Amino acid sequence: MKLRVDYLVVGTGPAGLLHNINLRNRGKEVLNVGTNLYGQLRPQKIDRINRSINLLPIFPVVDSGLWHSMNLGSASYKTLSLKKVNHNGFHSNVNYSKNSYTEYLFEKKKKYKIPYILSYKQFGNLIFDHSLSELKQKLNRNYRSGQPKHIKTGFKNGLSPYYNFLMSQEPYSVAREAVRNIDIEKKAVTTDKSTIEFNKLIFTLPLTKIFEFTNIQQNFDIICGDAKFYTYYSRKKLYSNHLYYDCNIDTNIYRLFIPQENIVVVQLARNSWNIEPNGIGKEAANLMNLEHSLQHVHTNSYRKCYPLDVTDSNEKERLIAGLEKKDVYLSGRFGRWKYIDLHEVDYEVHKN
């Protein structure tokens, strides 16, 4: 089958769907292509409570234009409360390379202690040997914005506001097909079922996919972090919308969320991935001062979900500029390989 559209968005995660909404609101012809509607963090069915929930809040760290434009009715969302707990167990006698992320934290930032502990727990040993410039830029943005303690978001019925909003905007024009090839010169995408011609292409899949789908050579390496989560059922109801950061460098939990009153989601510290769910469950119950135990129900691992750096940023910028000349726009955290959050995505990349 052969199709032709004005705007083709590759990817069906939140970034791709928000491009779709933005374009259709401007009266443009738009089609998304991809499998996995709602992306890698789409709501997950938890049998124990017989409903689907988002495991992660996807919260904005700075006041966001996107948030305001969503018009959700602020009263419908509770405040997500952030707690930084366990402030001890700090080791500063670590070996780190010159220009590494750790050097930046120790020498450039005065209040480095908590960011150091949390970065180590989130990314592990990568922070000692790599510059992680994307992470530095994100940290600088957060510091500039003063890191709000209470954030105007949370979960409603287990769903993050972004997903509630996206679901309220259905139906989307989506070809549920897997992309196989992109011919940039001919302006055509080939999938497992069809060929789709476009005038402008917005690409939100992970950057490495552009090398897989086109004949462009990859001239730089990408540096990324992974994440692992254990989900638990609590037979007693908890206060939802809490988010705890465990600031003890020696413990196995990086952070935990309560997206729904019977569910606790734990993100493991990077060097604790081999610890069994039962041990982590006890640690989580302890952290929240619970007297009852938690029952492990799911394990999720996300590979390459934190874009941290590239080995040659000039090459990456040249690639982006070269593609834009051909009406191909890399967008989002993964497409642009930039450690940005959802509300920081530039939805006007395709203005011209």
Ligand X SMILES: Cc1cc2nc3c(=O)[nH]c(=O)nc-3n(C[C@H](O)[C@H](O)[C@H](O)COP(=O)(O)OP(=O)(O)OC[C@H]3O[C@@H](n4cnc5c(N)ncnc54)[C@H](O)[C@@H]3O)c2cc1C
Please state, in angstroms and rounded to a whole number, the distance separating the CA atoms of residues 267 and 41: 14
Member of 288, 302, 313, 324 binding ligand X (CB under 6 A): 302
Grouping H, G, I as helix, E, B as strand and the rest as coil, residue 330 is strand
* Closer Cβ to ligand X, 103 or 209, answer by number: 209
SS (H, E, C) 249-300: CCCCEEEEEEEECCEEEEEECHHHCCCCHHHHHHHHHHHCCCCCCCEEEEEE
9 counts as binding ligand X under rule CB under 6 A: no
Member of 7, 8, 9, 13 binding ligand X (CB under 6 A): 13
Size of the site for ligand X (CB under 6 A): 25
Member of 9, 15, 132, 280 binding ligand X (CB under 6 A): 15
Please state, in angstroms and rounded to a whole number, the distance separating the CA atoms of residues 81 and 44: 23
Least separation, in Å, of the C-beta of 278 and ligand X? 22
Site mask for ligand X (CB under 6 A), range 94-133, x = bound: ----------------------------------------
Least separation, in Å, of the C-beta of 197 and ligand X? 21
Site mask for ligand X (CB under 6 A), range 202-231, x = bound: --xxx--------------------x----
135 counts as binding ligand X under rule CB under 6 A: no
Q: How many residues does the chain have?
A: 352
Other residues' Cβ atoms within 10 Å of the Cβ of residue 260: 23
Going by C-alpha positions, the residue among 295, 224, 225 that lies closest to residue 263 is: 295
43 counts as binding ligand X under rule CB under 6 A: no
**Vertex 229: Cα angle to 226 and 232 (nearest 5):** 180
Q: Among the candidate windows 22-30, 168-176, 242-250, 330-338, which touches ligand X by CB under 6 A?
A: 330-338
Please state, in angstroms and rounded to a whole number, the distance separating the CA atoms of residues 260 and 61: 21
Least separation, in Å, of the C-beta of 132 and ligand X? 16
Member of 5, 7, 9, 16 binding ligand X (CB under 6 A): 16
Residue with tokens 């935990």: 256
Least separation, in Å, of the C-beta of 177 and ligand X? 12
Torsion angle, alpha carbons of 223, 211, 305, 134, to 10: 50
137 counts as binding ligand X under rule CB under 6 A: no
Least separation, in Å, of the C-beta of 334 and ligand X? 5
Q: Which of residues 254-283 bind ligand X (CB under 6 A)?
A: none
Going by C-alpha positions, the residue among 300, 138, 127, 315 that lies closest to residue 223 is: 127
Q: Report the run of H or E that residue 102 belongs to, with start and end.
A: helix 101-103
Name the pairing type of β-strands 242-246 and 253-260: antiparallel
Least separation, in Å, of the C-beta of 184 and ligand X? 19
Q: Read off the amino acid at residue 59.
A: F
- List residues near ligand X by CB under 6 A: 11-16, 34, 36, 39-41, 56, 58-59, 204-206, 227, 302, 305, 332-334, 341-342
